[in-house]
């Protein structure tokens, strides 16, 4: 089976192109975020996954819950997702849409995983260097994971910079077995 992100991407691209064409990217972001929140609701998830629920009922219920928060185009997206049994991937579609929007705005999300909490100065210096490397503004989130033993791991989009002790040990183990 295909990865969820692979399935979600064409829907996100379509929503993004429509939003850009109509200059409604912020509205689309808001609508997709709301619809994703509805999809993530435990009761709605149970309803979506219930094999006894027919598509027409699922579509009507979902759109009724969303009310006037979705415009006609977003409602059409929901109808297509229900028709093809893909409503549960709406959060992945939202995520892919936000990535496209961020790229357009010249902003990249970065995740810094450190063994110990870095100082604000260390984070600022790292962000500056990442902005120079990628040529875009970087929005960063920092998490602490003692399992990486020491050092840091940086994830920016598809790029992973692993300068952790755990990563280095894994590379060494791989080199020794190869």
Averaged pLDDT for residues 6-27: 92
- Is residue 142 within 8 Å of 118, Cβ to Cβ? yes
Q: What is the pLDDT of residue 137?
A: 86
Two domains, one topology: 4-102 and 106-177: no
Domain chopping of the chain, boundaries: 4-102, 106-177
Instruction: Dig out the tokens for 164 from the structure.
Output: 């952790």
pLDDT band at 127 (very low <50, low <70, confident <90, very high): very high
Q: Judge whether residue 1 has pLDDT over 50.
A: no
d(CA 106, CA 41): 32
Q: Element (H or E) spanning 163, and its range?
A: strand 159-164
Instruction: Dig out the tokens for 169 from the structure.
Output: 């040990």
Q: Indicate the average pLDDT of the chain.
A: 90
Q: What is the pTM of this model?
A: 0.64
Averaged pLDDT for residues 115-143: 90
Q: What is the pLDDT of residue 52?
A: 93
pLDDT digits (tens, 9 = 90+) for 39-82: 999 999 999 999 999 999 999 999 999 989 999 999 999 999 99
Quickly count: other Cβ atoms within 10 Å of residue 92's Cβ: 20
> CB-side exposure of 132: number of CA atoms within 13 Å?
5
For the domain 106-177, what is the CATH code? Answer: 3.40.30
Q: What is the pLDDT of residue 156?
A: 87
Buried b (16+ CB within 10 A) or exposed e, 59-77: beebbebbeeebeebbbeb
Buried b (16+ CB within 10 A) or exposed e, 22-46: eebbeebbebbebbbebbeeeebee
Q: Which fold has domain 4-102?
A: Peroxidase; domain 1 (1.10.520)
């Amino acid at each position: 089976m295909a990865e969820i992100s692979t399935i979600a991407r064409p829907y996100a691209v379509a929503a993004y192109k429509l939003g850009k064409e109509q200059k409604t990217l912020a509205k689309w972001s808001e609508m997709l975020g709301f619809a994703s929140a509805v999809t993530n609701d435990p009761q709605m998830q149970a309803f979506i996954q219930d094999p006894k629920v027919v598509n027409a009922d699922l579509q009507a219920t979902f759109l009724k819950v969303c009310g006037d928060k979705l415009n006609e185009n977003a409602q059409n997206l929901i109808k297509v997702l229900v028709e093809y049994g893909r409503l549960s991937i709406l959060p992945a579609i939202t995520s892919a849409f936000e990535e496209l929007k961020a790229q357009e705005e010249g902003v990249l999300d970065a995740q810094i995983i450190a063994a110990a909490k870095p100082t604000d100065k260390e984070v600022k210096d790292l962000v500056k260097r990442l902005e120079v490397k990628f040529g875009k503004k970087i929005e960063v989130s920092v998490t602490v994971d003692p399992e990486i033993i020491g050092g840091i791991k940086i994830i920016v989009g598809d790029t992973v910079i692993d300068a952790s002790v755990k990563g280095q040990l894994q590379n060494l183990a791989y080199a020794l077995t190869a």
